[in-house]
Amino acid sequence: MAHWIDRLGELLLDSSLAATALLSLVALAMIGCRQPVRRICLARAAILSVLALIPLVIFAPFPRISLNRVAHQSGLLSHPIFASHLRHLSNETKAPTPAPGSGLTPSAPDAPRPLHMLIGPPPRWLIVAYLVGTASALAWLLLGHWGLSWLTSRSDEVTPLSAELYNRLPVQGHRPRLRVSARVRRPALVGLYRQTILIPVVLDLPESADKLRLSLLHELAHTERKDSWFGLASSLAQAFWFFIPPLWWIRAQMRLDQEFMADRGAARAYGPFQSYAASLVKIASGEGDTELKSTGVPQQTTPQVTNTSALFQRVLMLVQCPFSLESHPPRWWAYTLPSLILLGTMVASCLTLRISDLTTSSKLPPKATTPRSHSFRMSHLVANPSSQSPVGFPLVYDLPLPLPRSFDLSVDVWGDEDTLPLTKVVGIRLHPPGLRAGSPSAPMGWHRVQIRRMADEITVDLDQLPLPTSTDQETTPSLTFESPAGYPVHFRNLLLTW
């Protein structure tokens, strides 16, 4: 169970990085775009993209781009701004200096060693909290849709006068049903496949025909623009990425733009924009409270229309828009945007903070081994520098598990060209084969170690490359790990079979 939580944490870290990068770029593009219809297209594309990031990160169909590796290779972390910050973190976790004669090389005082502490897997309690938050958001979303279905099933037919007025209104595509409910206070478009427009009782009266016509035109405009479907998609994206602030702003801006475009579409069929805006303000300001009281429906509270409210912005755009508005995005925009968003989604799904991915080695064909009947697994082991001896000697973990005569051991070890030679697994020192002069060094990251012992023959592989072993080399009697003094070393995904 712990292994799956750790694996989920790594996937969540990568997917959060990809979603944050993509949503931030889209939010900046929406800020620089003044056409509401284009902002709606950007927001919808971003919402669908972050939903698609979930399977893309899980299945990883594209090669990964390690930002940590790029930062190391480009020398970005050697800049004084980053180096001073990393040096500060290094001083906080620095272990005592090795004693003279211990055979260990002390770390340089200015070397920011514990960079991996910044990119380690998230703590398990944080993953559990995320799962609880996502499950709660999805449950609340399902409860809301169930409540709307329950409300629709208990609605009534409208009067013939309202039905005749509704049938005369122009609509493109499917015409939703029109129902009246005493439990709603304002018109609402509910449902996805079988959509229904619910209106309050006060709008089903003969004297409210003008207000009913305005409200129905507005809801039909939402139907034609498929706003309900993208509203559901945005709610799903919010459930999975509730901790990413750019998504909050994108959702709020998309809803505001959708309301304005619905107002603009309804105003064209209703009459002059000024008349529609005036009627919209009258409805929102609570005019008609007498009818609400006489019908027994609870009185609505009068909204405050201020310079920063959404209603004020909608009315202002209707009557005093300083530029010409587009009803539909240009053809070049409609053709270019999907390609750019698709490309951005693919690139974002490749981003990772891990230098080496476990899936890289897991996709390689396994070597032929004899069938094993026993196994021992361990998800994570951390050699904490705070547990080191004061004199600076290496820390040895000795697990009470005797090693059989023949076994197959695989484990991931976090380290680089400096720490791997000082790290031992079952008594075998890990010498990366790339430490010769002129050869590439082992980068800081996860490295796959495979140790096999068949009778008196021992083979050791590091990142699928064989390590030199002597004929008289022996392993420890039990399962042991030895880490260099002063450096925290992580071991994960241990599997011992015999």
| pLDDT for the residue numbered 110 | 42
pLDDT-above-90 percentage for the chain: 30
| pLDDT for the residue numbered 438 | 41
- The encoded tokens of residue 428 equal 């075998």
User: Which option is the CATH number for 364-497: 3.40.50.920, 2.60.120.560, 2.40.50.100, 4.10.520.10?
Assistant: 2.60.120.560
pLDDT-derived band of residue 311, with 50, 70 and 90 as boundaries?
confident
Residues forming a β-bridge with 178: 197
> Which is nearest to 198 in space by CA: 236, 243, 228?
228
Q: What is the mean pLDDT of residues 101-112?
A: 42
Residues 347-371 pLDDT 10s:
988 888 765 443 333 344 444 444 5
Q: What distance in Å separates the CA atoms of residue 482 and residue 476, rounded to the nearest whole number?
A: 11
Q: What distance in Å separates the CA atoms of residue 455 and residue 48, rounded to the nearest whole number?
A: 56
| pLDDT for the residue numbered 432 | 62
Residues 265-309 pLDDT 10s:
888 888 777 788 787 777 766 544 333 333 333 334 444 445 457
Q: What is the mean pLDDT of residues 399-406?
A: 83
Residues 114-136 pLDDT 10s:
444 445 567 888 889 999 999 99
What are the φ and ψ backbone dihedral angles of 255, each rounded to 5 degrees?
-65, -40
3-state secondary structure the chain: CHHHHHHHHHHHHHHHHHHHHHHHHHHHHHHCCCCHHHHHHHHHHHHHHHHHHHHHHHHCCCCCEEHHHHHHHHCHHHCHHHHHHHHHHHHHCCCCCCCCCCCCCCCCCCCCCHHHHHCCCCCHHHHHHHHHHHHHHHHHHHHHHHHHHHHHHCCEECCHHHHHHHHHCCCCCCCCEEEECCCCCCCEEECCCCCEEEECHHHHCHHHHHHHHHHHHHHHHHHHCCHHHHHHHHHHHHHHCCCCHHHHHHHHHHHHHHHHHHHHHHHHHHCCHHHHHHHHHHHHCCCCHHHHHHCCCCCCCCCCCCCCCHHHHHHHHHHCCCCCCCCCCCHHHHHHHHHHHHHHHHHHHHEECCCCCHHHHHCCCCCCCCCCCCEEEEEEEEECHHHCCCCCCCEEEEEEEECCCCEEEEEEEEECCCCHHHCEECCEECCCCCCCCCCCCCCCEEEEEEEEEECCEEEEEECCEEECCCCCCCCCCEEEEEECCCCCEEEEEEEEEC
